């Protein structure tokens, strides 16, 4: 493969020759298909099982000479952890993590059965094809290729294949961090989902967003208090009315622009790439900042979709629960809100929700997780940028902040800095982000080949 040449990396000396061959590429595809066929649906509330997929992963790692551990908080909620020894015992370890669970899928809505793992016309179909059994498969293929070729990475690499990422992580990374932190001893940085995929803005450019931040999770429950009564009577203390007013205020609220270092870097790089004027990002006038950022996003066209969700906090009402009979005014009504909070935006979020809910509606956290950010001007990001450009010289690699969250939140509690880097080169018209939790989730075979090669290069250089 002529594209796999030896290259220098950041003053650390020449990289080892590439060892991703046709066998590794084939394994990445086969493992993806095999893992999809294992129904690891996570329905929330503790309902799910990852055991079959975990045993499959452990077997593949054992074949590569590793010593994987299967760990469970509850029967069937299985995690796999293994360590690949590095060549430099003094180097800090690197964590590579991916989850084994998937969200539900209704076969009646799909062109193919979501747990078939069918390979059709160069595409692997099924639930988990991009979220994220494909990434698990590529990691397995890389470490097995190293074993065949006798390659050792520079630093220890800890592999973690987790349960329960699609819910609260209490059976997965949360359990591992709380009860088995010694397994991650020495880890300072991590890579996981989901970044380094091709984003086509429709102008011929290929953007590769690498995640260097995540908004925090703030899932809320709202409870409105009122006076119960007959539906035929005037009632100015109607809990449903009070709830509806609060939900409307939350849903219609425009949050102020808040620029984190990662989002600022992304805006700066995209403005330069597209030759657009950069507004004053240091202004202390909130209205001027919002106007300038919104104008720049409008000028960036489709590329703005990578940045727009993360220039502000957000809170979206998602569920309502009120009343039990049409002619009865209930004394209580409830709702749920999906809030997402940028680094540094927690106090603003709390104060705003207090104001929007008002005196007659209480709110509390149903699930609360911290926001994250990682350096974009250091050696780790430079390595990931170089690896993508090596295999796609036309790549424009930019940092971005994920609007949602991953297991990186849990691992950050051990002092591990996380990045989203599971590369895929995708064809024009392939909407990667729509695949997440969507119908007809799928991934091209060529994308898996590309991702396996890029991962190999990056992991050996990080």
Query: For residues 324 and 330, what is the distance between their CA atoms, to the nearest angstrom?
Result: 7
Pairing of strands 361-369, 328-329: unpaired
Q: Is pLDDT of 127 > 90?
A: yes
For residue 56, give both structure tokens: 């499959």
296 in the same domain as 238: yes
87 in the same domain as 150: yes
Q: Is residue 315 part of a domain?
A: yes
By mean pLDDT, which of 29-33, 76-80, 365-369 is the weakest? 365-369
Q: Of 325, 349, 369, which closes a domain?
A: 369
Q: What are phi and psi of 458, to 5 degrees?
A: -70, -45
Residue-wise pLDDT for 141-151, tens only, equals: 999 999 999 99
229 in the same domain as 115: no
- The DSSP bridge partners found for residue 113 are none
Q: Is residue 251 part of a domain?
A: yes
Residue-wise pLDDT for 220-246, tens only, equals: 999 999 999 999 999 999 999 999 999
Instruction: Look at residue 135 in the predicted model and tell me its pLDDT.
Output: 98
Instruction: Say how many Å lie between the first and final Cα of the chain, rounded.
Output: 22
Confidence of residue 13 (pLDDT cuts 50, 70, 90): very low
CATH number at residue 63: 3.40.630.10
Q: Is residue 387 part of a domain?
A: no
Instruction: Look at residue 403 in the predicted model and tell me its pLDDT.
Output: 87
Range of the domain at 143: 22-198+405-461
Arithmetic mean of pLDDT, 234-262: 97
108 in the same domain as 188: yes
How many structural domains compose the chain? Answer: 2
Q: Is residue 328 part of a domain?
A: yes
Query: For residues 355 and 368, what is the distance between their CA atoms, to the nearest angstrom?
Result: 19
For residue 368, give both structure tokens: 């609360």
Residue-wise pLDDT for 422-446, tens only, equals: 999 999 999 888 898 999 999 999 9
Confidence of residue 15 (pLDDT cuts 50, 70, 90): very low
Q: Is residue 190 part of a domain?
A: yes
Check residue 287 and report its DSSP letter: H
143 in the same domain as 86: yes
3-state class (DSSP) for residue 87: coil
Q: Of 315, 349, 369, which closes a domain?
A: 369
Q: Is pLDDT of 20 > 70?
A: yes
Arithmetic mean of pLDDT, 397-414: 94
77 in the same domain as 173: yes
184 in the same domain as 258: no
Confidence of residue 9 (pLDDT cuts 50, 70, 90): very low
Instruction: Look at residue 18 in the predicted model and tell me its pLDDT.
Output: 57
Instruction: Look at residue 8 in the predicted model and tell me its pLDDT.
Output: 32
Q: Is pLDDT of 10 > 60?
A: no
Q: Is pLDDT of 7 > 50?
A: no
pTM confidence score? 0.91
Query: For residues 390 and 261, what is the distance between their CA atoms, to the nearest angstrom?
Result: 26
**Dihedral through CA 283, CA 284, CA 287, CA 288, nearest 10?**
-20
Catalytic residues: 101, 165
Instruction: Look at residue 1 in the predicted model and tell me its pLDDT.
Output: 30
Q: Of 352, 369, 386, which closes a domain?
A: 369
Instruction: Look at residue 2 in the predicted model and tell me its pLDDT.
Output: 32
Q: Is residue 75 part of a domain?
A: yes
Confidence of residue 178 (pLDDT cuts 50, 70, 90): very high
Share of the chain above pLDDT 70, in %: 96
> Nearest-CA neighbor of 98 among 460, 362, 451?
451
- The alpha carbon of residue 12 and the mean position of all alpha carbons in its chain are separated, in whole angstroms, by 30
Q: Is residue 208 part of a domain?
A: no
189 in the same domain as 50: yes
Residue-wise pLDDT for 275-303, tens only, equals: 999 999 999 999 999 999 999 999 999 99
What are the start-end ranges of the H helices in 275-392? Answer: 286-300, 346-357, 379-391
Query: For residues 401 and 374, what is the distance between their CA atoms, to the nearest angstrom?
Result: 10
Q: How many Cβ atoms from other residues are within 10 Å of residue 369's Cβ?
A: 22
Q: 86-92 — which CB contacts under 8 Å span 24+ positions?
A: 86/152, 86/153, 86/154, 86/155, 86/156, 86/157, 87/152, 87/153, 87/154, 88/154, 88/155, 91/154, 91/155, 91/156, 92/155, 92/186, 92/187, 92/188, 92/189
For residue 448, give both structure tokens: 């898996």
189 in the same domain as 277: no
Q: Is pLDDT of 115 > 50?
A: yes
Calculate helix-pair angle for 133-149, 51-63, nearest 10 degrees. Answer: 20
Q: Is residue 223 part of a domain?
A: yes
295 in the same domain as 413: no
Q: Is pLDDT of 219 > 80?
A: yes
231 in the same domain as 185: no
247 in the same domain as 146: no
Q: Which residue in this structure is represented by tokens 């590794």?
A: 24
């Amino acid at each position: 493969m002529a594209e796999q040449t030896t290259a220098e990396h950041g003053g650390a000396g020449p990289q080892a020759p590439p060892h991703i061959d046709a066998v590794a590429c084939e394994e990445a595809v086969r493992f993806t298909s095999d893992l999809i066929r294992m129904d690891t649906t996570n329905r929330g509330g503790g309902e799910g099982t990852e055991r079959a997929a975990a045993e499959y992963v452990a077997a593949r790692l054992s074949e590569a000479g590793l010593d994987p551990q299967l760990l469970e908080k509850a029967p069937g909620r299985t995690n796999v952890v293994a360590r690949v020894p590095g060549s430099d015992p003094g180097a800090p370890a690197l964590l590579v993590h991916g989850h084994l669970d998937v969200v539900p899928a209704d076969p009646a809505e799909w062109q193919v059965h979501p747990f078939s793992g069918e390979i059709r016309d160069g595409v692997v179909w099924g639930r988990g094809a991009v979220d994220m059994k494909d990434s698990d498969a590529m990691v397995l293929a890389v470490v097995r290729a190293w074993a065949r070729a006798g390659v050792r990475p520079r630093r220890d690499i800890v592999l973690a294949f987790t349960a329960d990422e699609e819910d609260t992580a209490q059976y997965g990374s949360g359990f591992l961090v709380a009860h088995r932190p010694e397994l991650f001893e020495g880890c300072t940085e991590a890579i996981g989902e989901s970044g380094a995929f091709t984003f086509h803005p429709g102008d011929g450019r290929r953007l590769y967003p690498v995640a260097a931040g995540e908004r925090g999770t703030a899932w809320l429950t709202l409870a409105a208090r009122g006076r119960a009564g007959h539906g035929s009577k005037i009632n100015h203390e109607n809990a449903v009315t009070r709830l509806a007013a609060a939900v409307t205020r939350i849903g219609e609220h425009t949050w102020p622009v808040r620029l984190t270092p990662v989002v600022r870097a992304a805006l700066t790089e995209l403005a330069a790439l597209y030759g657009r004027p950069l507004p004053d990002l240091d202004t202390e006038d909130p209205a001027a900042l919002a106007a300038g950022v919104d104008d720049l996003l409008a000028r960036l066209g489709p590329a703005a979709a990578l940045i727009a969700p993360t220039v502000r906090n957000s809170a979206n009402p998602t569920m309502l629960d009120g009343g039990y009979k049409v002619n009865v005014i209930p004394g209580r009504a409830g709702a749920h809100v999906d809030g997402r909070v940028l680094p540094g935006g927690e106090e603003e979020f709390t104060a705003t929700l207090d104001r929007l809910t008002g005196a007659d509606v209480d709110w509390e956290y149903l699930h609360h997780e911290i926001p994250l950010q990682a350096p974009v001007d250091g050696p780790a990001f430079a390595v990931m940028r170089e690896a993508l450009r090596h295999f796609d010289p036309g790549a424009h690699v930019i940092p971005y902040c994920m609007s949602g969250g991953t297991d990186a939140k849990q691992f950050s509690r051990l002092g591990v800095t996380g990045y989203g880097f599971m590369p895929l080169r995708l064809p024009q018209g392939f909407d990667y982000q729509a695949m997440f939790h969507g119908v007809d989730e799928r991934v091209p075979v060529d994308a898996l080949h590309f991702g396996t090669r890029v991962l190999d290069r990056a992991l050996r250089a990080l």
